[in-house]
Amino acid sequence: MSQDQSLQGRKIIIHDMCLRDGMHAKREQMSIAQMVSVATALDDAGVPLIQVTHGAGLGGNSLQHGFALHSNEEYLQAVVPKMKQAKVSVLLIPGLGTMKELQSAYDCGARSVHVATHCTEADTSPQHIAFARKLGMDTSGFLMMAHLNTPDKLAQQGKLMESYGAQTIYITDSAGYMLPADVKSRVAALRAVLKPETEIGFHGHHNLGMGVANSIAAIEEGASRIDASVAGLGAGAGNTPLEVFVAVCERMGIETGCDLFKLMDMAEDIVVPLMEHMVRVDRASLTLGYAGVYSTFLLHAKRASERFGIPTRDILVELGRQKMIGGQEDMIVDTAMTMAKERGLLQDVTA
Amino acid sequence: MKKIKCALIGSGNIGTDLIYKIQRSTILEPVWMVGIDPESEGLARARGMGLKTTSAGVDGLLPHVLADGIQIAFDATSAYVHAENSRKLNELGVLMIDLTPAAIGPLCVPTVNLREQADKGEMNVNMISCAGQATIPIVYAVSRIQGVEYAEIIASLSSVSIGPGTRANLDEFTYTTSNAIKVVGGARKGKALAIINPAEPPMLMRNTIYCLTDETPDQAKITESILKMITEVQKYVPGYRLVNGPIFDGNKVSVFMEVAGLGDYLPRYAGNLDIMTAAATRTAEMFAEQILAGKLTLTPKLTPNLTATEIA
């Protein structure tokens, strides 16, 4: 049996990331009008789940992660009432966001949540996952930087999140580092330990150009939820480009319930025009994928590069070497300053 | 020289490390360690170091408090049992130093407001959190020079140094530390972020402090104030070190710190735990100095013993 036939008729749920991961690519500067225009086009194209928050999720507004133009509540209150069929979701990273903020997002109409931890730290999420379930939200455990954990250990982390109440476990390729074989081994390991009713999701970044191929590989091993964003609007070289992924699904007979032509049109007419820079594989974003660095570090590293005179690529490679993880954006300036001192470009205040 | 006798409640990592810190003090003496598991490694180690031990919880200690002259207790158990532990020991005139997130007493950072608490004769002081101890001195070093509208701290902790209690209750850590940035640090708004990094070998504790000042920051004065504060903290945490900064962008002041532990019971990378035990020991010493100088007499503090039905 060929692969095309084996996936024929498989139903998957697409979750758009333009208005959350895409906030990173917009330096969190997205207007309410832009949010509403993207969200209503996604809703009209049949995308069932749309994530809407600051790029770093609930509690993300900070000096560390940047202040968005509006609060998460203001964005949610603008988008949710306009939705005809789509459900709106949020991101919550424990240590940054709290249950108070989740309650507030729920009160504004969010009905699904990615509760995200680093791929080895699932046990920082029990309160938040349990609380999301108590609210009746569609709850996913989201294991970030999943390339940094082995398939078996990742599966144990997923099992923990399932035990707290997560209904879907995501393998999150935050660095866009994985290749299809890496994805397959991790989905298979999760599938082997999770309850049959627990879904598996894959969230890709396109830093090595593998977003679509990795998502298909995940589906082949039993994943049923795929995160993507129209025109790839997301951190680094962007997320799995949603309209490309839907086109491939149509060719393979995978059912997404989305209208391909509407998605193609909105990518071209709505999303690309609002990009501040072309979200694509370039020297810096390719470095993220190659070195296994958190995609959100991209624009921070570019700014540190301009300020301290250290090439972006050097900073990113050093961050990868030091095994910095998502949330450690402060260490980008710190690392650039340390490198600048070593290269005689900066003097120590105590010197 | 006369020493003030101490009891340690909780025989885990923090309690065990405290034995070393207190033994090193010239005015404190660890006498009792309290646990709840007779097989615990911490209790066995404490016995080996010459302490009396009980595995019957705080109730196992109470009959010995007066006879053994215990005047200061350190609670390194959990927020859930702290209030009861504190009530029982306060009734016997024992001062409680709280290393749990319970925070029923005033929040204390030795270099910022300890003198004030000691002068007031508080019977329970709370040590906030490791991130609080590592960052609030810097926030205060800025706010004592000029008004701080908002302060934000990011604590990066090695995965192996974070126990199950903190992991399961990260929101409490966030709330307690955010509040202390305001109440003790002097910022009008505070936000705390925690990152747990699993890198091997384990990374040292890192802390970044951002302050937004009301007016254009006075760079020279703020830098001087921060460097002075670091010297003060180094008196009890020698591994407290400025890595980069302060740097100034408009009204934003950024400071990048590192904390290496002393490597007593806990490894050097666990600077986050070390700064808690060191701050708690420093706090006890300040009270002990007052007691020994005859300026402070601890008196039994009677609080109504609530029954279960009254609490409900």
3-state SS string for chain B: CCCEEEEEECCCHHHHHHHHHHHHCCCEEEEEEECCCCCCHHHHHHHHCCCEEECCCHHHHHHHCCCCCEEEEEECCCHHHHHHHHHHHHHCCCEEEECCCCCCCCECCHHHHHHHHHHHCCCEEECCCHHHHHHHHHHHHHHCCCCEEEEEEEEEEEHHHCCHHHHHCHHHHHHHHHHHHHHCCCCCCEEEEEEEECCCCCCCEEEEEEEEECCCCCHHHHHHHHHHHHHHHHCCCCCEEEEEEEEEECCEEEEEEEECCCCCCCCCCCHHHHHHHHHHHHHHHHHHHHHHCCCCCCCCCCCCCCCHHHHC
Residues on chain B touching A325 (C-beta within 8 angstroms): 195, 197-199
Percent of chain B with pLDDT over 90: 78
How deeply is B91 buried, as exposed, middle or buried, from its count of CB atoms within 10 A (0-12, 13-18, 19+)?
A: middle
User: At B311, is the pLDDT very low, low, confident or very high (cuts 50, 70, 90)?
Assistant: very low
- Between these two residues, B3 and B169, which has the higher pLDDT value? B3
Provide the pLDDT confidence category of residue B121 given band limits of 50, 70 and 90: confident
Domains of chain A: 8-274 (3.20.20.70), 296-342 (1.10.8.60)
All residues of chain A having their beta carbon less than 8 Å from the beta carbon of residue B256 are 330, 333-334, 337
Spatial contact of B106 and B122, defined as CB atoms under 8 Å apart: yes
Q: Do A64 and B168 touch (CB under 8 A)?
A: no
Q: Residue B78's pLDDT is what?
A: 85
Question: What's the rounded Cα separation, in Å, for the pair A11 and A210?
Answer: 21
Length of chain B: 312
User: What are the extents of the domains in chain B?
Assistant: 4-127+275-311, 130-268
pLDDT (tens digit, 9 = 90+) per residue, A38-85?
A: 999 999 999 999 999 999 999 999 999 999 999 999 999 999 999 999
Task: State the Cα–Cα distance between residues B31 and B47, nearest whole angstrom.
Answer: 10
Interval B119-125 mean pLDDT: 90
Best of A93, A115, A124 to disrupt the B interface by mutation (most B CBs within 10 Å)?
A124
The residue ranges of chain A whose pLDDT is under 70 are 1-5, 350-351
CA A293 to chain centre: 14
Beta bridge partners of residue B29, listed in sequence order: B5
Number of cross-chain residue pairs from A and B with Cβ atoms under 8 Å apart: 97
* pLDDT for the residue numbered B116: 86
| CATH 3.30.1490.20 fits domain B130-268 | no
* Lookup: tokens for A240: 């799995």
Could you tell me the pTM of the whole model? 0.93
> Which chain A residue is nearest to residue B170, measuring alpha carbons?
A95
In this predicted structure, the answer to whether residue B13 has a pLDDT above a threshold of 90 is no
pLDDT the model gives residue A190? 98
Residues of A with CB under 8 A from a CB of B: 62-64, 94-96, 98-100, 118, 120-121, 123-124, 126-128, 148, 322-325, 327-328, 330-331, 333-334, 337-338, 341, 349-350
- Which pLDDT score, from 0 to 100, does residue B1 have? 72
Q: Which residue has the tokens 């086009």?
A: A41
pLDDT tens figures, A265-283: 999 999 999 999 999 999 9
**Which CATH topology does B4-127+275-311 take?**
Rossmann fold (3.40.50)
- On whether the CB atoms of residues A141 and A115 are closer than 8 A, the answer is yes
Q: Which helix (H) or strand (E) holds A342?
A: helix A330-342
Query: Which positions of A are catalytic?
Result: 24
At A113 the three-state DSSP class reads strand
Model ipTM over 0.85: yes
Q: Which of A169-173, B63-67, B115-119, B147-151 has the lowest mean pLDDT?
A: B115-119
